[in-house]
């Protein structure tokens, strides 16, 4: 499809266009979604169409900053849509100019399959339950007669299976049995795997293992309160919940929040950025700036999680197909949860809703999809003078701003927290919870080294959770560079003239000139970090360029071998970083998705996404407009503690400013407590916002508070 640069010239809306949101990066409103589907329906009159995706096509970077910074025209509202038409292979996709009220381009793309929607997942369960051969296999597995309503499946895209390729729209149904409606079915996996053609709405094949295994007769293991009571309840304590840590911890913010929202534009501390959300990446943070004492400095054009993959490590057929690319195949937006006040996050919360099309093109809303709140962040900085027993002191507490969402990828929950600190640090914390993907294991079966029996007859296979973080930097301008930064000992031996005492060490910075230089891996021996910097913006003291340093240590390497299906489908996951030139060109769409635009049922052959962007590796990435991709995540060897639901496993990364600010950027944050040496001597008050007459919420755990009254 051709990019239409001239669209940036439109400013006024045609009759019938819904009101455009204030900001060009705002997600489509419900009215806009409905408006697009109406236009699309007219275009496809005579066909039975099912809406799969209607989303904002963000304005190109150039057009955006022409508007934002150069008084240029406001970019028109453009939507991208994907539909599946009954009887047609592949997808129909296109672009609608909402402002001008017409379809700009559309095409029938074959050989690809669309992202799965939550509706698709539910349909599959019905198809599987009603299939006579599945019913027969359930019987062979020992499922009681007439209990197909107790059969559940987690519908996964097939990944890719050579037997069918990408022509049919396929799902693999991972099968389970619930002995009653409130069971956790992951305790009762079945051993076979139906393949469902979603367009034909039928089971077309069933993968049946040679060794058959009867369903587990063990009672399911569950985690809902009623099951906790069954498991641990006693006469004295029928609930079964532990009694000794039940007192609430509440957060009080008596004067409300310190952030300010103008529509989707967040201002907090010195940060300013736009909060977007789409079906695929979920939260997208754009046009991020930091107010450096009146100077609004640009930091990043766009930050998002653009892809992920969960490769499983059991080599037996058909488990090689288990490698969900959850963002490209299902969508962190599509699978996002509505969040509950005081529960998913505590304190004073602002929520944003998310809007999607249903299969008929009507808009539906996930309420409270994005949570925005602040938390106390402990000590921001402190120093005390030992000379007067630490009475001369400054103690400044910090706050953090957290933008979060939680999405459910069938069995797993991914809790995503984008965290901002007042000193300019940006953190991404991921909490992984939910339920292990499980497979049946017979009484006499050894899981071998590929999995762990986490419960009787329940095998949880080894797997990884790997994400691709997409950073489009704009540090002090469009031309940026990137480098590895390695802690190195002096190369000269002890006793040499250059390193007489042997203690010398330094930071070795290796700037990427070409794309091929940027394909790097984590190196724990050198405490490797990565610098993203503007070589043209040099610090007046250090002489070093204005930098954001990526500090990321959860960098498990992809364990699947070269040539494996998952490595081909997630080429980006094989390394920790890739840097490519930004491109707004035709088909580029800003180089957003490193496993390609349509991920489901891609074989990994041919050049798409990251493979095409890397190309021959010769393109320049030094002092130009670059996009930085970072693979991070964990390797998960399941254990019984992860079952029946996982206590959150936390991993994170951070981006910190280096050589960007003249000095400590939070000196202007008011301390909680401060006294100079002369104030101590003269018995003067200094600054005090934490003593008990000010902070009524803090108090001693035991005894009275008299000792602390000042």
Q: By the criterion CB under 6 A, which residues form the site for ligand ABN?
A: 121, 154-156, 324, 326, 330, 335, 409-410
| Active-site option among 161, 326, 476, 642 | 326
The least CB distance from residue 432 to ligand ABN, in Å, is 12
Preceding omega of 318 cis (within 30 degrees of 0): yes
Residue 335's binding partner among ligand ABN, Cu ion, none (Cβ under 5 to 8 angstroms by kind) is ligand ABN
Q: How many distinct helices (H) and strands (E) make up the chain?
A: 8, 32
CB nearer to ligand ABN: give 127 or 627: 127
What angle (nearest 5°) sits at the alpha carbon of residue 347, between those of residues 346 and 352?
A: 80
Alpha-helical runs (H) found in 508-586: 565-569
Residue 658's binding partner among Cu ion, ligand ABN, none (Cβ under 5 to 8 angstroms by kind) is none
Rounded CA separation 53/451 (Å): 36
Using a 10 angstrom Cβ sphere, with 0-12 exposed, 13-18 middle and 19 or more buried, the burial of residue 246 is exposed
CB nearer to ligand ABN: give 270 or 336: 336
CB nearer to ligand ABN: give 39 or 158: 158
CB nearer to ligand ABN: give 123 or 691: 123
Count the Cβ atoms, other than its own, within 10 Å of residue 566: 28
User: Of 427, 423, 443, 500, which is closest to residue 215 (Cα–Cα)?
Assistant: 443
Question: What's phi and psi for 700, nearest 5 deg?
Answer: -75, 145
Subset of 609-648 contacting Cu ion (CB under 5 A):
636
| Active-site option among 279, 290, 412, 582 | 412
Q: What is the DSSP letter of 20?
A: P
CB nearer to ligand ABN: give 121 or 626: 121
Residue 330's binding partner among ligand ABN, Cu ion, none (Cβ under 5 to 8 angstroms by kind) is ligand ABN
Query: CB of 488 within 8 A of CB of 465?
Result: no
Cα Rg of the chain (Å, integer):
28
Residue 319's binding partner among Cu ion, ligand ABN, none (Cβ under 5 to 8 angstroms by kind) is none
Rounded CA separation 544/228 (Å): 57
Residue 417's binding partner among ligand ABN, Cu ion, none (Cβ under 5 to 8 angstroms by kind) is none
Residue 121's binding partner among ligand ABN, Cu ion, none (Cβ under 5 to 8 angstroms by kind) is ligand ABN
Rounded CA separation 401/403 (Å): 7
The least CB distance from residue 410 to ligand ABN, in Å, is 3
Question: What's phi and psi for 265, nearest 5 deg?
Answer: -95, 120
CB nearer to ligand ABN: give 150 or 172: 172
Residue environment code for 416-451, b if the CB has 16+ CB neighbours within 10 A, otherwise e: bbbbbbbbbbbbbbbbbbbbbbbbbbeeeeebeebb
Is there a catalytic annotation at residue 412? Answer: yes
The least CB distance from residue 463 to ligand ABN, in Å, is 10
The least CB distance from residue 410 to Cu ion, in Å, is 12
The least CB distance from residue 405 to Cu ion, in Å, is 19
3-state secondary structure of 420: strand
Q: Which residues contact 429 (CB under 8 A, 6 or more apart)?
A: 416, 417, 419, 650, 651, 652
The least CB distance from residue 323 to Cu ion, in Å, is 13
CB nearer to ligand ABN: give 157 or 216: 157
End-to-end CA distance of the chain: 71
Residue 156's binding partner among Cu ion, ligand ABN, none (Cβ under 5 to 8 angstroms by kind) is ligand ABN
CA dihedral (63, 67, 73, 74) positive or negative? positive
Is there a catalytic annotation at residue 439? Answer: no
The least CB distance from residue 153 to ligand ABN, in Å, is 10
The least CB distance from residue 463 to Cu ion, in Å, is 6
Using a 10 angstrom Cβ sphere, with 0-12 exposed, 13-18 middle and 19 or more buried, the burial of residue 182 is exposed
CB nearer to ligand ABN: give 324 or 550: 324
Under the rule (CB under 5 A), what is the footprint of Cu ion? 636
Residue positions annotated with a catalytic role: 326, 412
């Amino acid at each position: 499809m051709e990019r239409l640069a001239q669209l940036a010239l439109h400013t006024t809306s045609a009759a019938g266009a819904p009101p455009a949101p204030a900001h060009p990066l705002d997600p489509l409103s419900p009215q806009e979604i409905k408006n697009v589907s109406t236009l699309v329906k007219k275009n496809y009159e005579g066909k039975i169409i099912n809406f799969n995706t209607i989303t904002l096509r963000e304005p190109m970077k150039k057009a955006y900053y022409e508007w934002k910074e150069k008084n240029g025209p406001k970019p028109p509202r453009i939507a991208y849509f994907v539909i599946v038409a009954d009887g047609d292979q592949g997808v129909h996709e296109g672009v609608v100019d909402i402002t001008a009220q017409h379809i700009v381009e559309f095409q029938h793309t074959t050989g690809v399959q669309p992202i799965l929607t939550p509706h698709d997942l539910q349909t599959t369960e019905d198809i599987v339950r009603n299939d006579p051969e599945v019913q027969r296999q359930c019987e062979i597995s020992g499922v009681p007669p007439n209990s197909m309503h107790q059969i559940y499946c987690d519908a996964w895209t097939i990944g890719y299976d050579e037997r069918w390729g990408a022509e049919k729209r396929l799902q693999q149904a991972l099968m389970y049995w619930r002995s009653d409606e409130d069971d956790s079915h992951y305790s009762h996996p079945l051993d076979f795997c139906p393949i469902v053609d979603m367009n034909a709405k039928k089971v077309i094949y069933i993968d049946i293992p040679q060794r058959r295994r009867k369903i587990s007769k063990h009672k399911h293991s569950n985690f809902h309160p009623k099951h906790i009571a069954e498991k641990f309840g006693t006469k004295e304590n029928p609930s079964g919940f532990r009694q000794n840590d039940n007192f609430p911890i509440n957060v009080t913010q008596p004067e409300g929040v310190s952030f300010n929202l103008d529509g989707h534009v967040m201002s907090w501390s010195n940060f300013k950025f736009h909060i977007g959300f789409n079906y695929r990446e979920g939260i997208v943070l754009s046009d991020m700036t930091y107010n450096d004492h009146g100077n609004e400095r640009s930091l990043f054009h766009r930050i998002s999680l653009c892809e992920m993959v969960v490769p499983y490590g059991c080599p037996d057929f058909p488990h090689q197909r288990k490698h969900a690319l959850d963002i490209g195949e299902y969508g962190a937006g599509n699978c996002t949860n509505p969040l509950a006040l005081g529960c998913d996050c505590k304190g004073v919360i602002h929520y944003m809703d998310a809007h999607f099309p249903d299969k008929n093109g009507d808009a539906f809303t996930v309420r409270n999809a994005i949570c925005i709140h602040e938390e106390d962040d402990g000590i921001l900085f402190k120093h005390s003078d030992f000379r007067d027993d630490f009475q001369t002191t400054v103690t400044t507490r910090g706050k953090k701003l957290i933008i979060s969402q939680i999405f459910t990828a069938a069995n797993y929950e991914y809790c995503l927290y984008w965290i901002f600190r007042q000193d300019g640090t940006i953190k991404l914390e991921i909490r992984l919870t939910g339920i292990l993907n499980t497979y049946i294991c017979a009484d006499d079966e050894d899981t071998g080294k590929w999995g762990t029996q986490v419960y009787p007859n329940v095998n949880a296979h080894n797997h990884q959770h790997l994400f691709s973080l997409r950073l489009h930097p704009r540090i002090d301008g469009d031309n940026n560079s990137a480098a590895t930064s390695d802690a190195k000992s002096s190369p000269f031996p002890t006793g040499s003239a250059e390193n007489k005492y042997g203690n010398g060490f330094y930071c070795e910075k290796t700037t990427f000139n070409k794309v091929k230089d940027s394909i790097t891996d984590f190196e724990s021996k050198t405490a490797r970090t990565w610098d993203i910097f503007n070589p043209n913006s040099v610090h007046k003291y250090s002489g070093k360029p204005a930098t954001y340093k990526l500090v990321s240590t959860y960098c498990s390497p992809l364990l699947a071998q070269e040539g494996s299906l998952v490595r081909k489908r997630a080429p980006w996951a094989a390394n920790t970083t890739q840097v490519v030139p930004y491109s707004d060109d035709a088909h580029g769409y800003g180089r957003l998705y490193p496993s390609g635009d349509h991920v489901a049922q891609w074989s990994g052959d041919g050049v798409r996404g990251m493979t095409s962007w890397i190309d021959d590796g010769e393109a320049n990435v030094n002092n130009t407009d670059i996009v930085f991709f970072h693979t991070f995540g964990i390797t998960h060897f399941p254990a019984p503690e992860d079952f029946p639901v996982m206590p959150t496993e936390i991993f994170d990364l951070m981006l910190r400013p280096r050589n960007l600010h003249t000095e400590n950027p939070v000196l202007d944050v008011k301390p909680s407590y401060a006294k100079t040496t002369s104030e101590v001597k003269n018995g003067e008050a200094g600054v005090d916002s934490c003593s008990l007459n000010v902070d009524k919420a803090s108090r001693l755990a035991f005894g009275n508070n008299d000792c602390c009254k000042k």
